[in-house]
Amino acid sequence: MMRRCICRIVCSRAVLSFLTTSVIQANLLNDANRKPHIGENRLTFGVATVRAGIIVIVEGNKIMRPKSCTTDSTWAGTEQILGHCGNDRGQMALTKIDLRNKVAVVTGGGRGIGRAIALRLANAGAKVAVIARTENEIAETSRLIQQAGGHARPLAGDVTNADAMSSVFSVIERTLGYVSILVNDAGIIGPIAPFWETSIEEWWRVLDVNLRGAALCSHLVLPGMVTRQHGRIINLISGGAAFSLAYFSGYIASKAALARFSEVLAAETKPHGISVFALAPATVRTAMSEHSLNSPDGKKWIPWFARIFDEGLTVPVERVAEFAAQLSSGVADALSGRFLSVTDDLELLLNNVAEIDQENLYSLRVRKLPSAVASTKFDAIRKGAEQAG
C-alpha cells in the first residue's frame, strides 16, 4: 500500500514549489524488484521544481532517488538530511520524556553537542554531571541548566586520565547519586591528512580520547549499573564509521571501534537490564566541524566538506539532543547495540524491531557474495557468536 508523504527538499539558492498536477513514482536506486528494507517503501511523491541544488526525498529518513525524475538537478548520495518528512522542524514527537530521579553524566558537555544533550536531559528532569577539560565551558553549561530550573554539577577532567575520572565519578555518586545514564560525547577530530604524513602521537591521541575515554567512563559506571540491574550508555560515534573517509583515518578508526565496542557491550550487559547505543549525530555546526571546514588541512584535503554547509545539509544540534534524550528514556531499549543515526526515524525502527533483529540490520557487518556465504556457515567464530546470541 502506498502512502503519500510530504517530501523534504533541500536546495541551495533555489525557489522550490510543488506541482500539484505532477506525480512520480519513486523507485529505489538499485534493483526495483527486490524487497525493500525498512524505510525504503515505495511512495508516491509530488514533483518539486528546482533551479539549482539537489533533491532529497525522504521516507523514514532513508534517501531515495526516483528513477523517473526528469529534473536537471544533481543527485547527491548523502545522508546528511534535516529531519523527518512532513516535519519542517525535524523534531521527534515519539514520547514525553521524564528523567526525574535519574542521574546523567555527559562527557564533552562544555559546548556543542554535549552541551545540547546536557541541557535536554536536565530539561527532562535528570540531575546532570557535566564533564570536560575546560572549566569555564562546563560552568556555562551548568549555569544554563540551573537558569532553566535544572540541576547540574560541573566537573573538570580529562576522560583519558583514569585516576582523574575515578575521582570525578566518586564525587558524582557522593553528591548526585548513582549514575543511570552515561553519554560519552568527549571527542576530537585529530589530524586531517594522509596517514603517513600525520604525527603518530597525534593519531593515537584521537583513539585515546574517542575510544579509551568512552571505555574508561563506561568501566567506571557499569559495576553500579549491573548491581542495580539498570542503566543506559550512549556513545556518540560518526556515520563515517560505516564507510571509508580518506584523510580522517584516526577519527574514523576510533569511531568504528567505538561502534563495535557499543555492540559488544550491549550483548554483555543485556542480561543485566542495561542498554548501550552507538549514535551518529550526522554533521552539526560545532567548533569541531568548523575546524574541519576552515583549517588549512581541511581546505586542502577535504574541500567537499564545505558543500554540506553550503547546501544547508547540517543537522540542528537540538535534534541530536532530542534523539539522545529518547534513548535515555528507555523507549528504544529494544534497539540496544544498534548503529543508529539522528537521521533515522526512531518510531519506524521500533515498529520493525523483529525484522531488524532477524536481518541484523543497523550494525557493522562484512557483506559477502551469496556464493561465498555457504562456505562460511561452519566458521567456528561465526557459529560461536550465533550460539552466544
**Positions marked active-site:** 251
- Cell 557499569: give the residue: 222
Residue 264 CB coordination number (10 Å): 11
The answer to whether the beta carbons of residues 128 and 145 sit under 8 Å apart is yes
State how far the alpha carbon of 365 is from the alpha carbons of 2, 255, 360, in Å. 31, 15, 9
Q: What residues contact residue 341 under an 8 Å CB cut-off, 6+ apart?
A: 61, 79, 239, 279, 280, 281, 282
How many CB atoms sit inside 10 A of residue 66's CB?
A: 20
Q: What's the CA gap between 249 and 68, in Å, rounded?
A: 38
Tell me if 229 sits within 8 A of 178, measured CB to CB. no
* Cα 192 from Cα 188, distance rounded (Å): 11
**Gap between the Cα atoms of 107 and 133, Å rounded:** 9
From the list 122, 114, 254, the residue with the least C-alpha distance to 186 is 114
C-alpha cell at 81: 538530511
β partners of residue 175: none
